[in-house]
Amino acid sequence: MQTKSNPLKKFRIILCRTSHPGNIGSSARALKTMGFSRLYLVKPNNFPSSEANSLASGADDVLKEAIIVESLEDALIGVNYTVGFTARKRELTQPHENIRTTATKIFPMAEKNEVALLFGNEKNGLSNDEIKHCQILSFIDASKDYSSLNLSQAVQIVCHEIRMMTALCLNNDIIKITTPKYVSHNVLDGFFNHLESVLDQIGFLKKIQAERLMQRLRLMFNRINLDKDEVNILRGILSEIQKKIK
C-alpha cells in the first residue's frame, strides 16, 4: 500500500465549514497516518493557522497541499461517488449505514472512481444542502448517552476503517472485481440542472414544492450510480422535450 498506485490516494477527504483550525490540523495528521493524503477544505473559518500546523505534527505537507475552495460544488469537481458522514437520521434521505458497511463497498469502487468523504461543521454537521450531493450517508456507531465525537476523531475512524478494508481487499484480490466507472459529480449536476429547467419549462415545478421535489429526484438518481452513456441518454431525452415545447 506504499507504492505509487496506493489506492488510498483515490480518496479525497472534504471538510466543510470547519470552525476550529486545530481540528483541521488533527484531521490532516489522522488521514496521513492512515495512508491518505488529499485534503479539501470548503470555506474553513480560520485557515491557514499556526494552531492547525502545530496539531498536524508531521502531516504539515498534507496541510500545505490542501485545496481550499469556496463551495462544496468546487470540491466535488471530478468526483464520482460521495459519502457523507452524519450521525443524525433525516426524514427524506439516502441510505444511512454503518461505516464498516460503507468501507466494505467503497474501496472496490475506488479502483476506477474518485471517491469523496464528506465531513460537516463541528457543531451542526452536514447541512441539507451538502447532504444532497451524497450518494450515500454513513455513521459511526456511538454511545446513546454521549455520541459527540470530535471531528478529527471521526476522520481517524473513517480512514482507519477504509484502510483496514483496503488491506483485506488487496490481500484477497477483491479489487479485481470489476466495478463500473460512474459519471463525475459535475456531469451529474449538469443533468440535475437540465432536468430542473425542463420540469420548470413544462410547468411541473410548483414553486412551493420545487426544492423538495428536486431533492427526491436527486436521491432517486443518486441510487442508480449512473454511467456516462446513461446520462447522455437522459439528457438527450430532456433536450428532445425542450425542442418539442418551444
* Residue 32 interacting with its own copies (CB under 8 A): yes
* Residue 50 interacting with its own copies (CB under 8 A): no
The distance of closest approach from Cβ of residue 115 to its own copies in the complex, given in angstroms and rounded to an integer, is 18
Q: Which is nearer to its own copies, 57 or 127 (CB)?
A: 57
The distance of closest approach from Cβ of residue 84 to its own copies in the complex, given in angstroms and rounded to an integer, is 19
Q: With contacts defined by CB under 8 A, name the span among 40-48, 134-142, 226-234, 237-245 that binds its own copies.
A: 134-142
Distance from C-alpha of 83 to C-alpha of 117, rounded to nearest angstrom: 5
Q: What residues have CB less than 8 Å from 54, skipping those under 6 apart?
A: 22, 25
Q: What angle do CA 86, 205, 127 make, to 5 degrees?
A: 15
Strand order of the β-sheet with 11-16 is: 67-69, 39-42, 11-16, 115-119, 81-85, 136-139, 96-98
Distance from C-alpha of 126 to C-alpha of 94, rounded to nearest angstrom: 13
* Residue 10 interacting with its own copies (CB under 8 A): no
* Residue 143 interacting with its own copies (CB under 8 A): yes
DSSP state of 136: E
Query: Is residue 44 reached through a cis peptide bond, with omega within 30 degrees of 0 on the bond before it?
Result: no
Identify residue 112 by its one-letter amino acid code: K
* Residue 167 interacting with its own copies (CB under 8 A): yes
Q: What residues have CB less than 8 Å from 100, skipping those under 6 apart?
A: 161
* Residue 225 interacting with its own copies (CB under 8 A): no
* Residue 33 interacting with its own copies (CB under 8 A): yes
* Residue 160 interacting with its own copies (CB under 8 A): yes
* Residue 18 interacting with its own copies (CB under 8 A): no
- Interface residue with its own copies among 26, 102, 179, 184 (CB under 8 A) is 26
Please work out the total of residues on this chain that contact its own copies, with binding judged by CB under 8 A.
Answer: 32
* Residue 64 interacting with its own copies (CB under 8 A): no
Identify residue 151 by its one-letter amino acid code: L
Q: Which residues of the chain form contacts with its own copies (CB under 8 A)?
A: 1-2, 26, 29-30, 32-35, 57-59, 100, 140-150, 152-153, 156-157, 160, 163-164, 167
